[in-house]
Structure 1
Amino acid sequence: MKIKLKVAPILFLFLVLVGCYHQPTVREPEYDIFVFAETDDWQHIERPLCQIFEKEIRTPQLEKLFTIHYADFSKLEKLSVRKNLLFVSTLESQGEIATIVKNMVRSPEMVRKIQQGKYFIFKKENQWVENQLLIALIAANRDSLVAKLHRNAQKLYNLFDKHNRKILLRTMYAQLENKKLEKQLLDKYGWSLRVQHDYFLVKETSTNGGFVFLRRSFPERWLFVHWVQTDDATKLMTPEWCLNRRDWIGKKFYENDRVNRKFTTVKLSEFNGRLAYEVTGLWENEEKIAGGPYKAYIFYDEPTHRVYMIDIAVFAPNKRKLPYLAQLDVMAHTFTTRQEFEKK
């Protein structure tokens, strides 16, 4: 089953000039978000913004993907070359940042829609540098601003996360790509994904469905695709089956790796337009005294009558693990079946 996620259109009018030239391209993803707001507004929005963007994820250490930084008007020119910028104000706010934000929506029609609560999020890409995302949040008053932050929390997080993924996709495959292995997977198993040049094929088998294991070192990270043929996906597409199957794979192919169920969550989500279970948490191996974060997507592909499990994991002691997991997630989302490949 395929689903489509609707995103409301976002309008934007930006009238501020910082310098008369276009700065160099921001080539790598950044995980810092710089927030421009008046001091009085910041005191009310700091906590909800941190709750939205600084979500802590156990890897097993607590990590956050994004970090919020407050900036005032004096830092605007210096920070205009950064990738993630967030301007926040209300129609009632006073000051240099408030003036900049209100100049974005000078038309009476737009002001009226903001007062009515119909407009809140305004988006502009590549304002001062390529690969830059600038978001402006404008509400009628401070109470409305805080309420809308809570109401639009996931949408705001997704805007920056999606933008980061887009940059990752470009940078990860900008140079070398293992197209020979990609074709081999498509011809042999009826599915493929984009493989960076420094991943290598460790294991593959067609027993008990199918299993393909790709790996990269320094630090250790890997991706596997497992599939099971079935005419009744309802017997397999359950949270308990997802966890049990992951443990079975860990025992059979990963020298007794297993899921730490205390720190694992299973939720309904989507994967490339398909309804899917999304599993996130920690894997562990007591014998090796090892562990780390993992994520898996489990979905049913109707044309092939297969339940797929696409799983990504990292082992990187003493390093931040979320950026590596984000790269693997981008790689996982390049997955395509033969039927989808032939339609392109």
Structure 2
Amino acid sequence: MKTFCKLSILLLIATIWVSCDGDYRQKARGGFGEAVVIMDSTEWKSETAEALRQTYGEGIATLPTLPLEPLFDLQFRDFKNNDELEQLKRFKNIIIAAPIDDSTNTAEWVRALLSDEVENQVRNGESFAFPLQNKWYKDQWTMILTAPTDTALARQIQNSEKTLTDNLFEKEFQRWNEEVYGQGEQVELSDSLWTNHGWKIRIQHDWIKNIDTTYTENGEESHFLTMRRVLPENNRWFWAWWKDDVQDISYLDDNWINSKRDSLMKKWIRGSRDSSYVTTEYGRPVETEVFEMDGDLTHETLGTWRMTKDAMGGPFVNFTIYDEEADRLFILEFGQHAPKFKKRRFVRQFRTMLRTFTSDSTWQAGATQARVEN
């Protein structure tokens, strides 16, 4: 092994971005949802290796597929010389894991990538995870994980599970954004939603709008819109409900979201039989995470739907968003029926597309006609 040159601490802490205009390197290789774990082969059954499998390789309970698809497909790899290392450095998602003072090639490489100051932080238990972007190739994500011992590193990984996986998800959503809209999008349709309804999402080139209506129920006015993308053996749909003048959301929780979703789908997302409609499959996990997106409170719900009176089902992704500035509540959902396909990649696409949602916080109910005329 040749001795590796150390990087400065600045390269490690700061995300390394190289503009597309000036970066002529090749793109990293590998598919969506794949990650290469570089670790000495003698440690593939270590506590750290098991923690990585439980964190990055955990089965996705909200998908209807059995056996469960993992969050990421992990490939454990080792290297014996620089040529093998150069091949590993070509991959799109790379996790480098080793105790800081091990004698393995991977540990030596970790020390070469860290400055002396950062090494001391690791030994003192102050830091253990160091993300890098586009380090050796374009569109590349790398995570260095190290600690004083195998047990300590495993514990750090387990205690930071969500932070670690969210860091990789952020990169994957960026990639899916380019993939989903790279073949074209309907900018005019998206702009019409903004003009007529005060919100929009980016729409792929072959989605078709169906329902677009305003209705009154229990004396309250609401709005509903649907779109579909029908392909051979892969039927996908999107629906959106929204309500103006919502000033109190104290009732908004997981139960309200799912109850409201079910009532809307019973009314609008019907099956081919008169008595059939889409509803939530509560026999499988339904999980909701709350975060802020562009300053708006957002609930993301993942789970499985089923068709009443029929043997059909599939995954769904739902965003419930409250725009406090405009007093508007939105519920948006993607669903899919594609029994012959694995579901993870499509759910990732749906999660990416919902993240393009934007609300016009200056919107005022009843102002649509004035906006159109202007």
Residues 12, 114 of structure 2: 8 Å contact kept = no
CA distance in 2, matches of 1:249, 1:279: 15
Q: Which of 248, 267, 282 lines up with 2:263 in the alignment?
A: 248
Please say if 1:103 is aligned against 2:112: yes
Which residue matches 2:64?
A: 60
Larger radius of gyration: 2
Residues 298, 319 of structure 2: 8 Å contact kept = yes
Call closer, same or farther: CA 1:340–1:137 in 2, change over 3 Å: farther
Residues 323, 361 of structure 2: 8 Å contact kept = no
Q: Which of 95, 102, 105 lines up with 1:93 in the alignment?
A: 102
CA distance in 2, matches of 1:96, 1:245: 55
Q: Which of 297, 318, 341 lines up with 1:275 in the alignment?
A: 297
Any idea what SS the aligned residue of 2:13 has?
coil
Q: CA deviation at 1:243?
A: 1.4
Aligned length: 326
CA distance in 2, matches of 1:274, 1:217: 31
2:132 partner amino acid: K
Any idea what SS the aligned residue of 2:203 has?
coil
Which residue matches 1:229?
A: 244
Residues 271, 297 of structure 1: 8 Å contact kept = no
Q: How does 1:25-104 map to 2 (within 5 A)?
A: 25-26=27-28, 30-44=32-46, 45-57=48-60, 58-61=62-65, 62-74=68-80, 75-104=84-113
Q: CA deviation at 1:188?
A: 0.8
CA distance in 2, matches of 1:125, 1:222: 34
Q: CA offsets per residue over residues 284-341 of structure 1, 9 Å max, x none?
A: 0033421101121213211221211111212111211111111111111111112389
Structure 1: segments with no counterpart, 5+ residues: 1-8, 15-20
Which residue matches 2:176?
A: 168
Q: Could you say what the CA RMSD is over the residues aligned between the two structures, in angstroms?
A: 2.5
CA distance in 2, matches of 1:194, 1:276: 18
Q: CA deviation at 1:277?
A: 2.8
| Identity in percent | 23
Please say if 1:24 is aligned against 2:45: no
Please say if 1:259 is aligned against 2:280: yes
Which residue matches 1:314?
A: 336
Call closer, same or farther: CA 1:69–1:264 in 2, change over 3 Å: same
Structure 2: segments with no counterpart, 5+ residues: 1-10, 17-22, 217-221, 271-276, 364-374
Residues 237, 298 of structure 1: 8 Å contact kept = no
Which residue matches 2:368?
A: none
CA distance in 2, matches of 1:332, 1:115: 41
CA distance in 1, matches of 2:69, 2:214: 37
1:253 partner amino acid: W
Using the size of structure 2 for normalisation, the TM-score is 0.80
Q: Which has the higher strand share?
A: 1
Q: Which of 198, 201, 210 lines up with 1:202 in the alignment?
A: 210
Which residue matches 2:126?
A: 118
Residues 201, 215 of structure 1: 8 Å contact kept = yes
Residues 278, 297 of structure 1: 8 Å contact kept = yes
Q: CA offsets per residue over residues 225-270 of structure 1, 9 Å max, x none?
A: 2112344433541322211211112111111111112224343411
CA distance in 1, matches of 2:154, 2:241: 44
Q: CA deviation at 1:176?
A: 1.5
CA distance in 1, matches of 2:237, 2:29: 24
Q: CA offsets per residue over residues 196-241 of structure 1, 9 Å max, x none?
A: 1111112111114111112212222222221123444335413222
Any idea what SS the aligned residue of 1:206 has?
strand
CA distance in 1, matches of 2:170, 2:263: 32
Relative to structure 2, which stretch is displaced further, 188-197 or 214-223? Answer: 214-223
2:229 partner amino acid: R
Call closer, same or farther: CA 1:92–1:13 in 2, change over 3 Å: farther
